[in-house]
Structure 1
Amino acid sequence: MTRAEKAVEKNKEGYNCAQSVLYAFAADCGLDAETGMALSTGFGAGIGRTQGICGAASGAVMALGLKYGKRNDTEGREKIEDCYNRVQEFLRAFAAEAGSTQCRELLSGCDLSTEEGKAYFKEHNLKETCLSCIRLSCDLAQEAMEEK
């Protein structure tokens, strides 16, 4: 099963977009799934349903941080720079492919903070947009982890 398939499956089980993407990378990045799920809960629907940066993209950024982030005082500034570069490349590629990194834009202005917006999301099957973003985030994060 690919990471994207694993993440889509998790999302269909009821986990949010950020949780689903981070879950797909957690074990390989040294994070236990339960901690990863708790950590990423607040990042769903563009961070706490504020529809800022896409939760699926946030999950991938967390995975990149786990793999490449500075962990202690003995690691130098180059560790941070490498992580930032990978995150920037990921976000550029995500925006180029999806059209934006912002949840509200990806969901065509649908306001998930209102009951009307939640109904619109369901009626217009915008879940498919989220699943596409989850797949894309997994694929691009995997690429970011393989290059260099």
Structure 2
Amino acid sequence: MEDRKHKAIENHKKGYNCGQAIACAYCDVVGVDEETAFKMTEGLGLGMGCMEGTCGAITGAITILGFKNSTANLEAPNSKGKTYQLSKELVETFKNKNKAIVCKDLKGIETNQVLRSCQGCIEDASDILDDILNKME
């Protein structure tokens, strides 16, 4: 899985937002083509809402968890509870490590204290996602 973390970092260096960087690096794990993953996560950069929301690396990783765990049962959505649990685990682990999950807080926009760089957030989200995916197998 270390290769996926490096791919995510390279994606970000190419101009992908943090959500796209993660989702595109893991799209093969969930059987989604990279172009679709790229399009679906385009709005997840800059912490959704220009730094006002959750870090894109986190939301990109949660997107992958949803793809991986969902039964896609449209008539009786029966997998969302487990997906919520997995998402909560990812968010809590990230927050425990970095003291925040909101983009502007991580970047120190209001405090002038940077908690984590975008690359660091991508690395952390990737590591946490790898751990959760390994436990799912």
Q: Give the TM-score range, shorter chain.
A: 0.7 to 0.9
Return structure 1 stretches of 4+ with deviation > 6 angstroms.
none
TM-score using structure 1 length:
0.82
CA distance in structure 1 between the aligned counterparts of 2:7 and 2:49, rounded to whole angstroms: 23
Cα deviation 1:6-30 (Å, max 9, x = unaligned): 0000000111100000011111111
Correspondence for 1:135: 123
**SS of structure 1 residue aligned to 2:47:** coil
> What per-residue deviation string (whole Å, max 9, x for no partner) do you get for residues 64-103 of structure 1?
00101241246663x2111111100010000011111110
Q: Which residue is equivalent to 1:85? A: 85
Taking only aligned residues, the RMSD between alpha carbons, in angstroms, comes to 2.1
Structure-2 residue corresponding to 1:97: 97
Map of 2:50 onto structure 1:
49
SS in 1 for 2:100: coil
Q: Distance in 2 between matches of 1:92 and 1:20?
A: 21
Match of 2:19 in 1: 18
Q: Are the aligned partners of 2:23 and 2:41 in contact in 1 as well (CA < 8 Å)?
A: yes
- 2:102 and 2:57 mapped to 1: Cα distance? 10
Greater RCO structure (CA 8 Å; 6+ sep):
1
Structure 2 gaps of 5+ residues are: none
Q: Identity rate of aligned residues, in percent?
A: 29
Unpaired segments of 5 or more residues in structure 1? 111-119, 121-125
User: Residues 51 and 102 of structure 2 are in contact (CA less than 8 Å); yes or no, is this contact kept in structure 1?
Assistant: no
